Amino acid sequence: MRRSRTAALLVAATLAVAGPAAAQDKPYAEQLGRLAEILGSLHYLAGLCDPGPSPYRGQMTALLDAEAPEAAFRAQLVDRFNLGFSSFAAVHRQCTPAAREAIVLYRADGAALAADIAVQYGTPVPQTPPNAVPPPAGG
């Protein structure tokens, strides 16, 4: 349950951010890069420690789809994801208490970072209550 809540926060942050632009035009570019690195780290660690498929590569794909970055910025984000993955691959070969602790810390860091991006740079999305009655037509 905690994994899906973190996943929702990570994806929601990117969905709330403005559309395509060059990395230098985005004040949150470094934060988004760090989020990509965290997702890569979690993707590797989840493969070691968590049963079932890792959701983190899918979250990275969702981040890239939502952000729709220009090619150079997209490459930077993918590089950061791969850096996170390879950094842990160089150190951890099996699930250890340290790897499990890293998962807990990175999930918390990723969720906090995603929330921060959404709060600082997100575009408010109008919410319609589920039982709202639409206004009458023509009047």
Residue 123: pLDDT band with limits 50, 70, 90: low
CA atoms within 13 A on the CB side of 123: 8
* pLDDT score for 24: 55
Given a cut of 60, is residue 99 above it in pLDDT? yes
* pLDDT score for 78: 97
pTM above 0.75, yes or no: no
* pLDDT score for 18: 40
Tell me how long the chain is: 139
Handedness of CA 76, 110, 54, 124 (dihedral sign): negative
Residue 137: pLDDT band with limits 50, 70, 90: low
* pLDDT score for 51: 85
pLDDT in tens, 30-74: 999 999 999 999 999 999 998 889 999 999 999 999 989 999 999
> What is the distance of C-alpha 71 from the center of its chain?
19
Q: Tell me the average pLDDT across 84-94.
A: 94
Residue 130: pLDDT band with limits 50, 70, 90: low
